[in-house]
Structure 1
Amino acid sequence: MIRPGLLLRLVVFTALIAFLAMPDRFAGLLAPLTDNGAPAIYNQGSLVSLTLSHLFTVALATSAATIVAVGLAIFVTRPAGAEFLALSRAAVNIGQTFPPVAVLALSVPAMGFGEGPTRLALFLYGLLPIFENSLVGLSTLPPAVVESASAMGMTGRQRLLKVELPLAMPLIIEGIRLSAVIGLATATIGSTVAAKGLGEVIVAGLQSNNLAFVVQGGVITGILAVLISDGFQILARRTSKRRGASPQASRPATDGQQAPV
């Protein structure tokens, strides 16, 4: 039997696909939000193309942030890198210190207009949650498990790949989830520097005073954020069950805040 929550998400996902594929069919629903005969459906570009560009930008930035943040967390939890913990924390906090808008403004002169500045801003903004969750996951492993792995003759590399990372994976996934959801919402500002994405729809609506455009861009972004967040949560739970991790061990850091170490 399908659970009500899952059924609701399937309905929402189906409605989103239907809207992206045949937006004109929904014009009647959005028409009351327009004035003076303005179009109810965004007509300055393909909603499918803008959605895919938006997702690609977020996926690329989140992937890069994951590689760097997890790599840093691994490094500072090794004896050789322990003394660099404070420096690493300061580095990943840069994205939270400077608002994405400021990063865009500073990077446009060097990188030009387009997706580049947006990807850089999302990359910097997504480092902190992944790094902190990875750090917690790798530094709070059961000592008995780590000692048993060493007693079995595993090298440091084998212990990392076969024991530490698998046990820390639920928390790492939660960090990636936070980064992806934050990036999905933040990417809408990329349209201010000519980056293709759903922000283009929202900005066009604000400039033309067309509430229907604003609602379209905002609702599509919101639905994608919820669906992606749910997907990562399901993946984290399944990983936790496979590894026998307790639910308490896989709680993520609060959005925008550091997880306790």
Structure 2
Amino acid sequence: MYCVIQEIETRRMQKNGYPKRIETYFTESNVIPSYYGYCYSTERFERPIKKAYRISIHESYREAGRIKKKQFVVCTVNYYSIADDSFNLYDWGDSRINIAVDALCCSSEFLYDLIEKKLNPLKEHIQAEFAQTEEFKVHEEHERITTLYAVSKAEFNERYGTVGSNAYDQCYDVFGVLQNPQRLKEIEEEYLEKINYEQKSREQSRRYYEDSYSNYNRNSSGSFGSVGGQRNEESKATLKQFYRTLSKAYHPDSNPGKDTSEEMKLLNQIKIDWGL
């Protein structure tokens, strides 16, 4: 049993190569902030090589003293589907391979291995040849640009807390060129306002905690359980609210990059002391 890959000529030259350019565009809106986007050009590289490869499985055997053959065509793949690595043997030939499996009484793993051993050297040759073309080099540059764009956008959103938005696209184009300095300045100012607000909120929460704890110590003769009757339940509900507010303010999830372990340790001790 063996695999045959036959080179054949195709009739037409392909015109559906990779796009020749990345193009930017500007979307202006009165509803949302205007932003810069990108698309690929409709002009594409022509693909002049008119070759395809017919992949088949063969088996020779003897019957009544005569040599006979079984042949199963798996698929025919064109040169550029191999060149740009869009060809997948499973997607293109699995149904035909399964037919051959039943007729030849072997496993699909055996046939896949048989084909791939024959196909892989051809793939390596074609892809190395394609890598020398202008089409491939332009495509690789496009991949570099769009990958760098995605990384820059993610870093920008992480820096300014704008994850899930198109804030980066409101300032920069796909090539990383700053197109709207005014919008960038606004985003930076919004970020600073947010940081200042959060810092003031933490300071207010700390003062609120310190004042509340100080007042409680002055008015309490011991643990929370020493306060009796209806006043006990009302005070306990108030103290629980204090505890929840402070726990949220000093929880590690609310303070990325800041160590609040001492504050949380103190709060946990207060929870015990107050009997919450």
Task: Compute the TM-score of the two structures, normalised by the length of structure 1.
Answer: 0.26
Higher RCO, Cα 8 Å, sep 6+ = 1
Structure with the larger helix share: 1
Query: Highest Rg: 1 or 2?
Result: 2
Structure with the larger strand share: 2
Task: Compute the TM-score of the two structures, normalised by the length of structure 2.
Answer: 0.25
